[in-house]
Structure formats: C-alpha cells, structure tokens
Amino acid sequence: MTETKDRSSTRPIRVLIGKPGLDGHDRGAKVVARALRDAGMEVIYTGLHQTPEEIVEAALQEDVDVVGLSILSGAHNTLVPRVIELLRQQGMEDVQVMVGGIVPEEDAEQLRALGVVAVFGPGTETEEIVRFTRSCARGA
C-alpha cells in the first residue's frame, strides 16, 4: 500500500527540564530551556522544587526523549539516582538523562556510571548542550 497522507517527517525532540530538590535558582535551567527551544525543540519546563516522582511522572505523560535535571543544591548524589531508578521502574530506559549544575568531577563520574549521558558544569556553552541533546534524543 502506498503512503497516501502527506506526513511531516520532522518530529520535534521533546525535552523535560526539571529542578528537583530544594534550591531556588532556576536561571540556568531557564537559559538551557530557551536555548533548546530556539534550536527547534519542544521543552516542557516543570519549575522549581520538584520531587523525583513528579519529574518522572511528567516525563512519562509528556513522552519526552530527554530529561534535563538542574541541581545546584549538592543533592545530586541522591536525587539523580532516584530519578534513574524511577525511570527504570516505568520501563523508560530509553529516556536519556542529562544533569546540569555544580557537580564535582568524582560525583559526575559516578552519575555517568549510573547511566547519565552528560553532566554539564558552570560555563558550558549552550551550543554544546543543544548539540548533545540533539545527538542523544531517540529518533533524532
């Protein structure tokens, strides 16, 4: 059977940008969200003070390709593993997890070992984040 509908072949990459935990600084998260939008992606921004459970439920409902976690509180060693565990419980291993914030290199190493695809520290160029997000989004 031939394809009869005129379908658009470009499927926008969907990214959730969330801030788990208690720190109240979302400037970095907003800058990244804006840069991803300007690169043609659909960015679901969840706002401050989200629990890992809320972030994973939002990622599920929004069917995102990538979850970006912004953490400046130092609690990355508990929050990020929890998000990854919850994603696994939901069968969402195909969703890529990126972390942005202040993360010491030895912690970053551990997070990558858990399956985090990238840890972006202060001073990262937004172009790099855009490039990376595009390359790791499924179906991109």
Contact residues: other proteins, CB under 8 A: 2-8, 10-12, 14, 33-34, 36-47, 50-51, 53-54, 57-58, 60-63, 90-92
Contacts for 18 with CB less than 8 Å, ≥ 6 apart: 29, 45, 46, 50, 54, 55, 58, 67, 68, 69, 70
According to DSSP, the residues that pair with 101 across neighbouring strands are 71
**Shortest distance in whole angstroms from residue 110 CB to other proteins:** 28
CB of residue 109 to other proteins, shortest distance in Å: 31
- Kindly tell me which of 5 and 106 has the beta carbon lying closer to other proteins: 5
Q: Which is nearer to other proteins, 45 or 120 (CB)?
A: 45
Residue closer to other proteins, measured from CB, 12 or 121: 12
Q: What is the DSSP letter of 40?
A: T
Closest distance to other proteins from the beta carbon of 43 (Å): 5
- Distances in Å between the Cα of 92 and the Cα atoms of 56, 109, 124 are 9, 22, 27
